[in-house]
Amino acid sequence: TQLLEQSPQFLSIQEGENLTVYCNSSSVFSSLQWYRQEPGEGPVLLVTVVTGGEVKKLKRLTFQFGDARKDSSLHITAAQPGDTGLYLCAGRRDSSYKLIFGSGTRLLVRP
């Protein structure tokens, strides 16, 4: 059973469209990180959210941490082909140093 479920698993959209990726759990996380991974490379950290209700923006990407710290979302505005990749959420529980990874969302943005 995956502790962090991401949806959708796959997403294929046209350049210019908006999209939202969800990361859900029944457990509370002390912090949550979002990564993007491209083929042949390791995951690259996009953002870390630590406070319930927190919203962070990174250019066209908007990240939100749920009020109860059990879920998070990533919204991309006007997607570009360069946004193509595997998006992973990862959370830390309590005082554990371990990072629990979500199931991943594979995004394809068509020109």
Partner 1 sequence: SAVISQKPSRDICQRGTSLTIQCQVDSQVTMMFWYRQQPGQSLTLIATANQGSEATYESGFVIDKFPISRPNLTFSTLTVSNMSPEDSSIYLCSVGWDSPLHFGNGTRLTVT
Residues that bind partner 1 (CB under 8 A): 2, 33, 35, 40-45, 86, 88, 90, 92, 96-99, 101-104, 106
Instruction: Report, in Å, the least distance between residue 17 CB and partner 1.
Output: 23
Q: Please state, as a whole number, how many other Cβ atoms lie within 10 Å of the Cβ of residue 92.
A: 17
- The angle subtended at Cα 103 by Cα 74 and Cα 88, nearest 5°, is 40
Cβ proximity to partner 1, 59 vs 98, nearer residue: 98
Instruction: Report, in Å, the least distance between residue 86 CB and partner 1.
Output: 7
Instruction: Report, in Å, the least distance between residue 56 CB and partner 1.
Output: 16
3-class state of residue 82 by DSSP: helix
Q: How far from chain centre, in Å, is Cα 97?
A: 19
